[in-house]
């Protein structure tokens, strides 16, 4: 297996526990959210993301109005604050360790403001935050992935490792482009093709560390 020269990460659902975060945001407004409703919300977002460009904050708000019946003002506030949703407990330490091995770049269907919110929670800057607000298209579009390649100056290939809990947005297109795929087994996930499977980012950091030690 080729050693990583670049790690890219899906954020919402892989680094940020977006189901728990959305549940808490809605509960604070007296609205419940079932697992089935959550899947309908993210599927509604996927439909919006395939159309004319809108910011992710706008797309989140529209999905909550349509699928949960939330009022417009509350929906807009939630859309603006998704980067404040809780990280998975392993995210900060795991990313900090991985960033010692190779650059760690977020590639995410979100906005720049969400990147500031997430990195404030991490307590450090990632090597980069490349989002749909920059590319003006959303994953899984091939145009998004080409934008990332050009922005980082890194060609597609197995030296580029992509990390995600989701097949549809991430692992399937990453595999088609020849990237090394890492599947993270989160509580809410959509499994896909993977070269490496881990339970969390700490597990990936330990696995990489073991490989690095064995190559010395």
> Which long-range contacts link 68-73 to residues 24+ away (Cβ below 8 Å)?
68/26, 68/31, 68/33, 68/37, 68/41, 69/31, 70/26, 70/29, 70/31
**Structure tokens, 54:** 């809108």
Reading the chain (216 residues) residue by residue, the pLDDT tens digits are 899 999 999 999 999 999 999 999 999 999 999 999 999 999 999 999 999 999 999 999 999 999 999 999 999 999 999 999 999 999 999 999 999 999 999 999 999 999 999 999 999 999 999 999 999 999 999 999 999 999 999 999 999 999 999 999 999 999 999 999 999 999 999 999 999 999 999 999 999 987 676 665
pTM: 0.96
Match 């935050």 to its residue by tokens: 129
φ/ψ region of 136 (left if φ > 0, alpha if ψ in -120 to 50, else beta) reads left
Distance CA 20, CA 91 (A): 15
């Amino acid at each position: 297996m080729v050693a990583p020269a670049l790690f890219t990460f899906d954020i919402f659902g892989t680094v940020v526990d977006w189901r728990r975060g959305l549940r808490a945001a809605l509960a604070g407004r007296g609205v419940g959210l079932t697992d089935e409703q959550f899947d309908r919300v993210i599927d509604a977002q996927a439909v919006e993301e395939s159309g004319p460009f809108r910011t992710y904050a706008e797309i989140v708000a529209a999905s909550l109005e349509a699928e949960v019946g939330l009022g417009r003002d509350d929906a807009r506030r939630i859309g603006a604050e998704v980067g404040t949703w809780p990280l998975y407990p392993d995210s900060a330490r795991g990313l900090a360790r991985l960033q010692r091995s190779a650059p760690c770049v977020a590639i995410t269907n979100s906005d720049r403001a969400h990147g500031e919110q997430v990195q404030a929670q991490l307590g450090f800057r990632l090597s980069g935050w490349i989002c749909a607000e920059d590319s003006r298209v959303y994953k899984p579009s091939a145009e998004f992935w080409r934008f990332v390649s050009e922005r980082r100056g890194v060609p597609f290939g197995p030296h580029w490792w992509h990390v995600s809990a989701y097949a549809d947005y991430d692992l399937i297109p990453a595999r088609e482009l020849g990237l090394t795929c890492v599947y993270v087994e989160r509580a809410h996930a959509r499994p896909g093709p993977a070269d490496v499977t881990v339970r969390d980012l700490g597990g990936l950091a330990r696995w990489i560390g073991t490989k690095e030690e064995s190559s010395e």
